Amino acid sequence: MTNEEMKKLINELKKENARLTDENSSLWFLLDELEKSNISNSEYREHFNETFKKLREVSLMVTDKAAEA
């Protein structure tokens, strides 16, 4: 792979990373709003609470820092 191809790939990956970071922030905002809302149906509230708990656990295992494998 040439130097120019690598630079192009790096720029594309930076753009994709920015898009995914923005999408992630939007989803967490939505989840926060849902958590604050009043879900009157207990079945839905329980399902939401379980899902939100799992997402929190997963988010603790994910990092955005580059590291050497």
DSSP string, the chain: --HHHHHHHHHHHHHHHHHHHHHHHHHHHHHHHHHHS----HHHHHHHHHHHHHHHHHHHH---S----
- Structure-token match 């905002």, residue found: 29
For 11-64, how does the pLDDT look when each residue is reduced to its tens digit (9 = 90+)?
999 999 999 999 888 888 887 887 777 677 777 778 878 887 888 787 777 666
What phi and psi values does residue 49 have, to the nearest 5 degrees? -60, -40
Q: Which amino acid is at 27?
A: L
pLDDT category at 66 given cuts 50, 70, 90 is: low
Task: State the pTM of this model.
Answer: 0.54
